[in-house]
Amino acid sequence: MAKVFFSSWNGKIIDERKKVAAERKDLQELKFPGQLGDRALRAFIGWAGLVVSDPDLDLVTALAVFYGKMQKESCGRCVPCRAGSKIISDRLAAILSGEGKESDLEFLVEIADLVASGSLCELGISSPKPLKDALLYFRDHFLTHISAHQSSLTKPLSTDHYETILTAPCRNGCPAHINIPGYLESIREGDYEEALAINREKTPFVGTLGRVCVHPCESNCNRQPVDQALSIRLSKRFVADFGLRNGYDQQLKKQVVKSAGERVAIIGAGPAGINAAYQLSRKGYGVTVYEALPVAGGMLAVGIPSYRLPRDILNYEIDLVCRMGVEIICNTRVGSDITIDQIWQEGFKAIFIANGLHESATMGCEGEDACYLGYMPGVEFLRRINLGQKVELGDTISVIGGGNVAMDCARSAVRLGVKEVNLIYRRTRNEMPANAAEIRAAEEEGINFHLLANPVCILEDGGVVSGMECIKMELGDPDVSGRRRPVPVDGSEFILKAESVIPAIGQVANFDFLGENSAVKLSRWGTLEVDDNTMETAAAGIFAGGDAVLGARTVIEAIATANRAAVAIDAYIRKARAAVGPAFYFERFLETAGVYNPDGVPEMVGARKRREEEVLPVSERISGFAEADLGFKGPGTAIAESERCVKCLRLGLAVLDAGRAEND
Ligand SMILES: Cc1cc2nc3c(=O)[nH]c(=O)nc-3n(C[C@H](O)[C@H](O)[C@H](O)COP(=O)(O)OP(=O)(O)OC[C@H]3O[C@@H](n4cnc5c(N)ncnc54)[C@H](O)[C@@H]3O)c2cc1C
């Protein structure tokens, strides 16, 4: 178990230097991992101080690497940051070369203070901290180099065992770690092409995410306690739409690696499958995606309604990937049209399973299995309307559920002309899992919410749905999810007239295509079991991601798993071992440790209102499936919004032992 030798992280001094190793605190108590992948963490240097685990570490060398990186990342707008990081970097190099003087140490403190007080963004404000802590607590390290009067650089400063990360609370909150401050800065400079390229490092689905992403990044925005979070999702949408209008396609550059020529098969053309195909194709692999449905896109194409995600946007982004050489074979269900064995026989070197969750969970209510006409699970209803199939609902319907799928069903039904849409949810509005904006929009569009109510029985007349018997609920003690458990109120049954009943309470997966003897294992939740970092299943060469692994989650999480899997698949093919490299472990460690401090109120000028998007009036919205939310008005709005970003950049450096070279 790795131990703390010294820590000044977040201003809390833990000095274990006089203790023997066995008595020192475990590194994990500070939420720091002992390892990043196969490599032991010797120290972490970053925005909130120093954490040293290895007593033999030479801090001066590590600090020289850290400030060299800071110098590269400094944008140059604040002179103290740009010039100061160079001065610090040069002075540390001089000390390491045997040309340092003791007076340099006081000088370094002065410069560090100057950089911290004279910089406008967090890179300059926070990065001097570890230097100041080192000068205070590890002065002997500097003096050893200074008194040696000779170069201690036996070789040039190597970056072999250092892993740096430039993060920010928003970037850390994004499961795919898109460089949000980077693209906001590009928007501010009017370089929309660069802003799009930054997004496309992680995904081709920029316009899609700009419309439907649940934007966890915004919940991490430091502006929240000051005025309002940045409109990050809409900024993303703006660059995608601008790029689409101006043909910014040339950025889909490939970064071909030595393995070019090998082929990978993917099961399912949803966001996970297509994102994995995109990243593997960029690395030079030949990729074939098998898709059961007649269209690609997964739930983006057959779940999310087109008034939220116009199909020309989605199809353009899928087409970008196809133009890179990815082959998507639709109408081909793995399991019935082709088997896994046949896929291997085709000569593929690895398989990525991303088949999502396309079957409905059951409500456990009477009449559910009776196949009454008018009973249709939510995902089936959405799939049918998205595939252009005729659906007859009648004038009055009941939708059951409080999540996004339920909102999509209810709002789609309104657009199909249903006169009365009743939405039944067993908890209160506060506990509804759907996005707040979706709930608001559903209310505006006239959907009747029956809260604290649960279905008991589907009523029928001659095999045709005629209504729903429901019961009122009240909230009891909290359940495992921490939410208060809904409990039926005896004798409170009531009846709602309904010509159609659409349950939308969750989806489940179907893994029949794996066959009975597959080495791929299922979790107790009925999802695929994988290594959380590499996304590798227990079967050699088979990886998995997206909802099939995570359960019903989000597009951005599906994309994040696909990106990890693509790196691991590349390693598996090239080095016969799935691995993701220290940079990924670094990101994941920061996900756990957290970069956003919800209790902090940063110093910044407030009262700068967030820019919102234009929205179609309700009467126009409900008259068809035209896009309801219209994005920013134009570049002026996007630039003004990006100017609200104060660049809460945080630089971190992990010093690692040599370990086993993975995917670096
Ligand atoms: C109605 C609805 C609304 C949603 N709204 C949002 C939202 O606003 N924001 C958000 O972030 N997330 C939303 N989600 C969730 C999001 O769509 C999913 O998390 C995401 O699509 C998962 O991606 P995936 O690639 O893992 O799976 P999917 O998108 O489900 O794609 C899986 C693909 O695999 C195919 N497939 C299945 N079995 C086989 C087989 N045997 N052979 C070949 N192909 C197969 C399927 O046909 C499908 O195309 C919504 C989901 C639904 C259902």
Cα of 219 vs centre of ligand 1, distance in Å, is 24
Whether pLDDT at 252 is above 80: no
Q: Are strands 263-267 and 350-353 parallel, antiparallel or unpaired?
A: parallel
Mean pLDDT of the residues in the chain: 91
Task: Judge contact between 573 and 350, C-beta under 8 A.
Answer: yes
Task: Give 364: exposed, middle or buried? Use CB within 10 Å, 0-12, 13-18, 19+.
Answer: exposed
159 pLDDT band (50/70/90 cuts)?
very low
pLDDT at 445 over 80: yes
Distance CA 628, CA 626 (A): 6
| For range 558-577, the mean pLDDT | 96
What's the pLDDT at 197?
94
Note whether 153 and 145 are within 8 A (CB). Answer: no
Alpha carbon of 294 to ligand 1 centroid (Å): 14
Closest Cα to atom 19 of ligand 1: 554
Answering whether pTM is above 0.85, one says yes
What length is written for the chain?
A: 664
Q: Residues 65, 67, 71, 77: what is their CA dihedral angle, to the nearest 10 degrees?
A: 160
Model pLDDT for residues 15-55, shown as the tens digit of each residue? 999 999 999 999 988 888 888 887 889 999 999 999 999 99
Which helix (H) or strand (E) segment holds residue 278: the answer is: helix 271-282
Position with higher pLDDT, 39 vs 497: 497
Task: Supply the pLDDT for residue 4.
Answer: 96
Half-sphere exposure of 8 (CA within 13 A, CB side): 16
pLDDT digits (tens, 9 = 90+) for 95-146: 998 899 999 999 999 999 999 999 988 899 999 999 999 999 999 999 999 9
Alpha carbon nearest to ligand 1 atom 10, residue: 554
What domains does the chain contain, in order, with CATH numbers? 6-167+649-656 (1.20.1440.230), 175-251+594-642 (no CATH), 263-357+518-579 (3.50.50.60), 360-508 (3.50.50.60)
pLDDT digits (tens, 9 = 90+) for 508-529: 999 999 998 899 999 998 999 9
- What is residue 596's predicted lDDT score, i.e. its pLDDT? 82
Ligand 1 atom closest to Cα of residue 333: 42
**What percent of the chain is modeled with pLDDT above 70?**
95
Pick the residue whose CA is nearest to atom 27 on ligand 1. Answer: 356
Ligand 1 pocket: which residues have CB below 6 Å?
Answer: 212-214, 267-273, 290-293, 298-300, 303-304, 333-335, 354-356, 358, 379, 382, 404-405, 408, 513, 546-548, 553-556, 558
pLDDT of residue 15: 96
| 305, β-bridge pairs | none
The mean pLDDT value for 285-306 works out to 97
Q: Distance between CA 58 and CA 76 in Å, rounded?
A: 29
171: pLDDT confidence band, cut at 50, 70 and 90?
very high
Q: What does the pLDDT read at residue 552?
A: 93
For residue 474, the Cα-to-chain-centroid distance in whole angstroms is: 35
Ligand 1 centre distance from Cα of residue 409 (Å): 15
Average pLDDT over every residue of 56-80: 91
How many other C-beta atoms lie within 10 A of the C-beta of residue 260?
A: 11
Given a cut of 90, whether residue 565 has pLDDT beyond it is: yes
Between the CA of 450 and the centroid of ligand 1 the distance, in Å, is: 28
pLDDT in tens, 639-657: 999 999 988 999 999 998 8
Contact 604, 223 (CB under 8 A): yes
Residue range 622-643: mean pLDDT, rounded: 93
Q: Report the distance separating Cα 548 and Cα 270, nearest Å.
A: 11
Average pLDDT rounded to a whole number, residues 568-586: 90
**Residue 272 CA, closest ligand 1 atom number:** 25
Distance, CA of 487 to CA of 470 (rounded, Å): 13
Cα 410 to middle of ligand 1, angstroms:
19
- What mean pLDDT is predicted for residues 267-287? 96
The average pLDDT across 611-633 equals 92
Q: What is the pLDDT of residues 460-471, one digit of tens each?
A: 999 999 999 999
Rounded-to-integer distance, Cα 621 and Cα 613, Å: 15
What does the pLDDT average to over 281-294?
96
Mean pLDDT of 162-183: 94
What's the CA-to-centroid distance between 558 and ligand 1, angstroms?
Answer: 9
Q: Indicate the top mutation candidate among 300, 360, 555, 625 to test ligand 1's pocket, ranked by most ligand atoms within 8 A of CB.
A: 555
Please give the pLDDT value at position 155. 47
Burial 207-244 (b: 16+ CB within 10 A, else e): bbbbbbbbbbbbebbbbbebebbbbbbbbbbbbbbbbb
Instruction: Let me know: does 520 contact 549? Beta carbons within 8 Å.
Output: no
Q: Token pair of 17, please?
A: 């230097």
Q: How far apart are CA 583 and CA 567, in angstroms?
A: 11
419 phi and psi angles, rounded to 5 deg: -80, -40
Which pLDDT score is estimated for 662?
Answer: 46
- Percentage, residues of the chain above pLDDT 90: 75
Q: Nearest C-alpha to atom 33 of ligand 1 is from which residue? A: 268
Compute the average pLDDT of residues 474-500: 90
pLDDT reported for residue 162: 87
How far, in Å, is the centroid of ligand 1 from the Cα of 271?
A: 7
Cβ-based neighbour number of residue 292 at 10 Å: 19
Q: Identity (one letter) of the amino acid at 600?
A: G
Nearest CA to ligand 1 atom 20: 555
Which residues of 25-173 form beta strands (DSSP E)? 35-36, 39-46, 49-52, 162-167
Question: Lowest-pLDDT range, 89-98, 127-136, 493-502, 577-586?
Answer: 577-586
Show the tokens assigned to 179. Answer: 């460089």
CA 267-268-273 angle, to 5 degrees, is 90
| Distance, CA of 487 to CA of 473 (rounded, Å) | 5
Please give the Cα distance from 469 to 400 (Å, whole number).
12
What pLDDT was estimated at residue 250? 63
Q: How far is the CA of 386 from the centre of ligand 1 (A)?
A: 13
Give the confidence band of 376 by pLDDT, cuts at 50, 70, 90.
very high
Which pLDDT band holds residue 78 (cuts at 50, 70, 90)?
A: confident
Helices (H), 576-634: 582-593, 618-621
Atom of ligand 1 nearest to the CA of 552: 19
Q: Per residue in 339-362, pLDDT tens?
A: 999 999 999 999 999 999 988 888
Say which residue the tokens 């802003």 belong to: 195
Residue 411, C-beta contacts closer than 8 angstroms, at least 6 positions apart: 305, 307, 438, 441, 442, 445, 447
Res 362: pLDDT: 84
